[in-house]
Amino acid sequence: MTLIKSISGIRGTIGGNVGDNLTPIDTVKFASAYGTWLKSYRKKETYKVVIGRDARPSGKMIQELVINSLIGLGIDVVSLELSTTPTVEMAVKLEHADGGIIVTASHNPVQWNALKLLNEKGEFLNDKDGKDILNLVETGGYNFSEVQNLGNRSNHNSYIDLHIQEILKLEDVLVEKIKQQKFKVVLDAVNSTGGISIVPLLEKLNVEVIKLFCDPTGEFPHNPEPLKKHLTDLSKSVIKNNADFGIAVDPDVDRLAFMDEKGEMYGEEYTLVTVADYILSRRQGNTVSNLSSSRALRDVTEKHGSQYTASAVGEVNVVKTMKDTNAVIGGEGNGGIIYPDLHYGRDSLVGLALFLSHLSQKQMKVSDLRKTYPSYFMAKEKIQLTPQIDVDRVLKKVEKMYEKENLNTIDGVKIDFENSWVHLRKSNTEPIIRIYTEALSQEEAKNLAKKMISEIKTLT
């Protein structure tokens, strides 16, 4: 059982002891710290926060604890109930709210839940603001409101529709061209809120949707991370139904993965690569992804005569780098698309609309589209941490071992070799060291990861 506190929020397993897991008491403390920080940060007479959740079974309980903690601080709450992370981000902007909280553990299994914290722009908090909240969690000092000054609650269930409307207005979303193609797709929404968001978007684009696990019961039929090994049912359904392609999203709908018409994974790294290729074919601009993302984005960006920049891992870091470089598209290699013309957040809905626009222009099979991009292969491994392991010390030793190579240490250690790379970093969301490698073949990528795991174990 685990509780992880970070600048982006709090994440943990449900049940167990206070301070060791995400218990009701930990939830109230963290929500109260966020509300207290928000009032000191915004310094206004009235405050408003938007709340939404994915469909996991603990979501309702956690959401109500969060809402009532904020109401107790005199903060008004707009509850979206079942929603998506990008929809809550959009709603913060459209409501002119002071912040937002999404109750979701994203790709983590069902026993986990989390609070993702947003500022008044509907974006994740920066390092300083996150640390201020963490400090409040430790020190307390919450000043709750008297009965005459409690906050009010309102429920708003139309924001997914508003989100879709905003997407369909975008110049880069070729609505009529998509409609003409009459695509047939299979959607695996892992029984969370993809079923109530992706489905209506596709229906408005005249796409035939074969629904797989699209009821928002929160009963995940498989591990909710949209990886090949978890999507065997999707693969079978694409082939059985002779679909044009398959779609998989995670429980809060900020990660987007595709499967081609043969039931083969398109490659989650290539979601961003493909969408970036489409945007850059329409206008000049820069791109950004994090250090753990594929080199393919750099290659495609340079093909269009634009500039690629790598950021530290974490959505807030990608967004900051995108703003600094005036990027027209960016995101993370795990299938997270950030399209600034809509908002600065990973958004599977807009990513899907842009992918469909590209495909409708290319008029080729998804497997053939994938062949138009540079072929890299990744391995993603991890080492479970114990309290005895000093991660920073281990990474320093790795840095020393490879000091003659091309190193980047803005986030862990990334070692760039001529035809491959490896990125080692401590996870923000799990007690692990993440090991990402990329090479010109799957075997090379796996062997590089195995080599690094073996070397790290000798250093711990």
CATH number for the domain formed by residue range(s) 3-158? 3.40.120.10
**Residue whose structure tokens are 């943990």:** 12
Give me the percent of the chain exceeding a pLDDT of 70: 99
Residue 141: per-residue pLDDT: 85
Distance from C-alpha of 65 to C-alpha of 388, rounded to nearest angstrom: 34
Confidence of residue 460 (pLDDT cuts 50, 70, 90): confident
From residue 292, give the alpha-carbon distance in Å to each of 273, 381, 415, 435, 459: 14, 12, 11, 9, 22
In CATH terms, is domain 377-459 a member of 3.40.50.300? no
Distance from C-alpha of 212 to C-alpha of 221, rounded to nearest angstrom: 10
Q: Look at residue 110 and tell me whether its pLDDT is greater than 90.
A: yes
269-370 fold: Alpha-D-Glucose-1,6-Bisphosphate; Chain A, domain 3 (3.40.120)
- Residue ranges of domains in the chain: 3-158, 174-259, 269-370, 377-459
**Residue 311: Cβ within 10 Å count:** 25
Residue 361 in contact with residue 174, Cβ under 8 Å? yes
Token pair for residue 164? 């879709």
The rounded Cα 321 to chain-centroid distance in angstroms is 16
Residue 261: per-residue pLDDT: 98
Say yes or no: do domains 3-158 and 174-259 share a fold.
Answer: yes
pTM above 0.95, yes or no: no
The rounded Cα 297 to chain-centroid distance in angstroms is 18
Distance from C-alpha of 422 to C-alpha of 420, rounded to nearest angstrom: 7
Q: Look at residue 429 and tell me whether its pLDDT is greater than 70.
A: no
pLDDT in tens, 70-84: 999 999 999 999 999
The arithmetic mean of pLDDT across residues 217-226, rounded, is: 96
CATH number for the domain formed by residue range(s) 174-259? 3.40.120.10
DSSP symbol at 171: T
DSSP 3-state of 56: coil
**Residue whose structure tokens are 């991890």:** 382
Distance from C-alpha of 310 to C-alpha of 174, rounded to nearest angstrom: 29
The arithmetic mean of pLDDT across residues 176-182, rounded, is: 98
DSSP symbol at 187: E
The rounded Cα 228 to chain-centroid distance in angstroms is 18
More confident position, 6 or 224: 224
From residue 37, give the alpha-carbon distance in Å to each of 97, 255, 331, 439: 15, 29, 28, 44
Distance from C-alpha of 91 to C-alpha of 97, rounded to nearest angstrom: 8
* 3-state secondary structure string across 197-265: CHHHHHHHCCCEEEEECCCCCCCCCCCCCCCHHHCHHHHHHHHHCCCCEEEEECCCCCCEEEECCCCCE
